[in-house]
Each structure stands twice: as C-alpha cells, then as structure tokens.
Amino acid sequence: MTQTYENYIGGEWTGSGETQDVTNPADETDVVSTVPVASAADADEAVAAAAEATDEWGGMPGPERGAILRETGEILKSRKDELAETLTREEGKPLGEAEGEVQRAIDIFYYYAEKARDFGGTVKQPSGGRAGLQTKKEPMGVAALITPWNYPIAIPAWKIAPALAVGNTVVIKPAMQAPTVGAMIVEALDEAGIPDGAINLVCGPGSEVGERLTTHDDVDVVSFTGSAAVGEHVYEQATSNGKRAQAEMGGKNPTVVMPSADVDKAADIVGAGAFGGTGQACTATSRAIVHEDVYDEFLDAVVDYAESLEIGNGLDRAGMGPHVSEDELAGSLEYIDIAQSEGATLETGGEELTGGEYDAGNFISPAVFSDVEPDMRIAQEEVFGPVLAVIPVSDFDAGVEVANDIDYGLSASIVTDRIEEENEFIERSESGVVKVNEKTTGLELHVPFGGLKRSSTNTYREQGDAGLEFFSYIKTVYRNS
Ligand code: NAD
C-alpha cells in the first residue's frame, strides 16, 4: 500500500506541488509513500505558523501539554504494527529492529508526557529584605528539528517530544530517504488534539528547506542529527544567526577486546554492534581493537558471526537488511576498495549481492577486515555500512590509545573480565557514551546522549532531562513585597 503525506502547516495538510516517491530499499518496485518536495517558501509558512502558536502552546499548563503527548503515545501504540512495517519498508531494517524502534518512540512520548507535568524551577533562600528568589524555566520559542533517515521514528520522537513538553512550537524536516514514519508522528499529534501551529512538518531537501530553517529569523533553536559535514555547517549557520543549536553527528565507534573476555561473547557483542541496522547507526561498532593474545580466535569468531547472518528483506525478519539507498551501498563498496588498496585483508563479505530478490534491492554481505592499521582510512573514517575493521594491539594501553586516536567520540565499549580495566577504560575513553561488556549501539531514553569531538557540537546533550534543558532557558526571579 502506498501512503500519501503532504506538509503539515498550521494544522492543515497542504501540498507543495512537486512530490517524491519513497521506495523500499529491499524492493524498488514497492512504493511506500508519496511525499511533497517542499520549498523554502513552505519552510517560511511553517515557521510563521509555529511562531503564531507559541503563546497558545507555551502558555498551556504543562500537565495539559503532557496529556496531548501521552495521547500521542497511545495513538502510536495502537498503530505499532503498521508503523513498524512502514519503517522496515522505507528504511530497510529487519522488522524486529523496527518494532523496537517504534516502541522506543512510544516510550519517549510517555516519558516526556510526565516530564511536562514536572518541569519547573527551583526556589532559593533570598538575602535579607527580599521576599523571594526563584528560577523559572521558559520555552525557547520556535524549534527547527532536522533529522536523518537511519532512525526515522526514534530520532524525530526524541527531538519533538521534549521540545513540545516544555512549550516550544516545532517545525520538523525529516530526511527524504525515510520521511513517512516521521509524518505519522505528526499525524498522531494532530489526532491527539495538538493546537494548530504547535507542530509543523515540511518534507523537502536539506539544501533548501534545511538551510532556510537554520537561518530563519523566527527560529529560536535548532536541533540537528546527521553527518558531520552537514552538522558542522548547520551549527555554524544557526549560531551565526544567533540561535541556540546542537548538532549530533557521526561516529567511528570502537570495542576493545581484552584477553580476559569470553571471546565468543565478545564476537557476538561486536557482530551485533557492527551489523545491526546494516551498520547504519551513528553508534555502530566499526572498529574491533583486539589484544594480540586473542586476535586470531576473535577474528575467526566474528567472521563466523558475519557469515551466519541471513541477508534479505527486513519484512521477512532477515538477519540483516539492505542499505537504505543505492548511494549508501556505493559508499560502502567504495570503502571496501579503499581498504584493500591500503593493504587491509578482506576476510569475508563486502560484496554487492545479486540474483533473485537481491536484484531489486541494495544488498551487501557484511564485511570483516583484518590486518588493519589504526591510521588507515577504513579505521579512521565513518563508513556507515556493515564493515568492520579488526585492529590488533599489544596491551590495554595501546587499545585505549587506538580507541581514542580518532576524530570522532560517540560511543565506545570494552569487553573484559577485569574490573580495573573497566574502570580505567571508563576514565580514559574519549567518547560521550562508554559501555562495558555490551555493544556500542543501543541507548536508554532517560539518560543523556551525545558525543565528543566531531561526533557532536558538545553544546548540549539529547534525551533524558538533558533534552528538556536544551529546549528551555532559565529566568531568575527576584521578588520584593
Ligand atoms: P545527512 O547529514 O546527509 O542529513 C541529515 C539531515 O540534514 C537530513 O534531513 C538532510 O536533508 C538535512 N540536510 C542536508 N543538507 C542540509 C543543509 N545544508 N542544511 C540543513 N539541513 C540539511 O545525514 P544522513 O545521511 O541523513 O544520516 C546519516 C548520518 O547521521 C551519519 O553520519 C550518522 O552517523 C549520523 N547520525 C548521528 C546520530 C547521533 O545521534 N549522533 C544519530 C543518527 C545518525
């Protein structure tokens, strides 16, 4: 079934004229949805509608805003199967992963529904003569949210829900590769009774709609997730136009494997982190940094893991789905050539899959490279595909150094049975998320998330209470009677 969505501006679904088909990356004959190709003029209209709604939405008591968010969560829950299927059809990830992501979006709406009720300030003791001293939190105003395609429902949810909870109005621009489930969140908010203008959706190219949102005078706060190249530009544009901004970007995430670890368990952890979501996660494990004492054993085990994955259509609950687009597939294949030309050894995979159902999609077999030197491009640059570089190190210190010797700093993990290595890794790891004995992917929604170095502008964090802080400012009140 093909769904049709328009832009949603000021409480109305409105077309832009030009439209685009969103197709299934596992089967190009399957048209998932038709969405508008919005223009800068549509972005202007959406910002105007959002600006007009700030008094009504920002002035509404927090518990009432929370009730609308809770109802939105309920509506998403009632459509969970449909959402998961749509997500798999437009992004490609296996249905089980899509179901998990949709549940996460539902939980995010429930979580921030309660946070809207609790959100407030603090009361302090005033100095002599003054009657009151307190802080009060206020919404920033109009929030522009720009999101990527790889978590097409979770990321819009973790930006929209906190922005709305504290009383901002929102314009969201999802990525054009997978905008449908983001539009379905907006549909649920509409059905839940959100006032006109509080949420607005424009589906359009980043170069036009995204640019306009990040520079528009009436936008107060910009939250971006995507690639480092675009994020750095968005941040520069937004902040030079006086806006509060955050950009969460790419990663090149390591898992260090120490000899005390159960090697099979380590291979399962790394394999799941590297190939889950076809390696298209900002937190995907792309480097296994392995102590030389267990290097060969680990390599054999992780190659077995990769070769055991059944590659196919996510709707059939395959072990790994396709790349989201031909361009992304071409990007991975290019890195596989680069790695080989630099002297890394391709142990398995890395081939475009053809024949039968594969001909209609963007399929690749998961790749494992050995003999990887830390300074090779395959060990330094984000590939954004199912490509794992396995790097040998002689001891723990070398492992930490290789893990840190990188432009990115999003998520890092260690697999070890030694508490002193755990502790030291947590201390020395240059990354926003550090994990022990688990994969670099997978996040809890009620703790902050963000990176260091080129993974984030590191201005604010997302999720948990940090999400509320980004979308609000503090007013300090001195009261005299
Ligand atoms: P992208 O940077 O190509 O696009 C992200 C969004 O920015 C899209 O909506 C796009 O249309 C928009 N955009 C493009 N040009 C723009 C411009 N000039 N101005 C404003 N907006 C513009 O990224 P992508 O390919 O959609 O996503 C993959 C990337 O996202 C990877 O690098 C991945 O690591 C990163 N990512 C990071 C996180 C995180 O939380 N750190 C989470 C998921 C994905």
pLDDT at 13 (0 to 100): 97
Q: Is 225 in the pocket of ligand 1 (CB under 6 A)?
A: yes
- Cβ contact 222:43 at 8 Å: no
Q: Is 283 in the pocket of ligand 1 (CB under 6 A)?
A: no
Is this prediction's pTM over 0.95? yes
Q: pLDDT tens-digit profile of 203-242?
A: 999 999 999 999 999 999 999 999 999 999 999 999 999 9
Fold classified for 3-249+456-479:
Aldehyde Dehydrogenase; Chain A, domain 1 (3.40.605)
Query: Where, residue-wise, is CATH 3.40.605.10 in the chain?
Result: 3-249+456-479
Q: Is 432 in the pocket of ligand 1 (CB under 6 A)?
A: no
Angle at 88 between CA 353 and CA 455, to 5 degrees: 85
Query: Where, residue-wise, is CATH 3.40.309.10 in the chain?
Result: 253-436
Q: Is 437 in the pocket of ligand 1 (CB under 6 A)?
A: no
Q: Which atom of ligand 1 is nearest to the CA of 250?
A: 34
How far, in whole angstroms, is CA 287 from its chain's centroid?
19
Q: Is 463 in the pocket of ligand 1 (CB under 6 A)?
A: no
75, amino acid identity: I
pLDDT at 109 (0 to 100): 98
User: For a pocket test of ligand 1, which of 42, 224, 230 has the largest count of ligand atoms closer than 8 A to its C-beta?
Assistant: 230
- Cβ contact 232:456 at 8 Å: no
- Cβ contact 216:44 at 8 Å: yes
The encoded tokens of residue 160 equal 């929209």
Give domain 253-436's CATH architecture: 3-Layer(aba) Sandwich (3.40)
Instruction: Tell me the CA–centroid distance for residue 147 and ligand 1, in Å.
Output: 6
* Atom 12 of ligand 1, nearest CA residue: 206
Instruction: Tell me the CA–centroid distance for residue 224 and ligand 1, in Å.
Output: 7
Instruction: Tell me the CA–centroid distance for residue 56 and ligand 1, in Å.
Output: 31
Q: Which atom of ligand 1 is nearest to the CA of 204?
A: 11
> In this structure, how many other beta carbons lie within 10 angstroms of the beta carbon of residue 353?
18
pLDDT at 15 (0 to 100): 80
Residues in the chain predicted with pLDDT less than 50, given as ranges, are none
Instruction: Tell me the CA–centroid distance for residue 228 and ligand 1, in Å.
Output: 8
Q: Is 150 in the pocket of ligand 1 (CB under 6 A)?
A: yes
What is the chain's Cα-based Rg? 23
* Atom 13 of ligand 1, nearest CA residue: 206
Q: pLDDT tens-digit profile of 88-124?
A: 999 999 999 999 999 999 999 999 999 999 999 999 9
pLDDT at 16 (0 to 100): 72
Q: Is 82 annotated as catalytic?
A: no
pLDDT at 139 (0 to 100): 98
β-strand 199-201 against 169-173: which pairing, if any? parallel
C-alpha span between 360 and 454 (Å, rounded): 35
* Atom 26 of ligand 1, nearest CA residue: 148
Q: Is 232 in the pocket of ligand 1 (CB under 6 A)?
A: no
User: For a pocket test of ligand 1, which of 37, 225, 237, 461 has the largest count of ligand atoms closer than 8 A to its C-beta?
Assistant: 225
* Atom 15 of ligand 1, nearest CA residue: 206
The encoded tokens of residue 91 equal 């992004």
Instruction: Tell me the CA–centroid distance for residue 128 and ligand 1, in Å.
Output: 52
pLDDT at 227 (0 to 100): 97
β-strand 411-415 against 408-409: which pairing, if any? unpaired
Helix (H, G, I), strand (E, B) or coil at 402: helix
Neighbour-count burial for 32-58, b at 16+ CB within 10 Å, e otherwise: bbebbbbbbebbbbbbbbbbebbeebb
Q: Is 235 in the pocket of ligand 1 (CB under 6 A)?
A: no
Instruction: Tell me the CA–centroid distance for residue 141 and ligand 1, in Å.
Output: 23
* Atom 35 of ligand 1, nearest CA residue: 226
Q: Supply the DSSP symbol for 210.
A: I
Instruction: Tell me the CA–centroid distance for residue 174 and ligand 1, in Å.
Output: 9
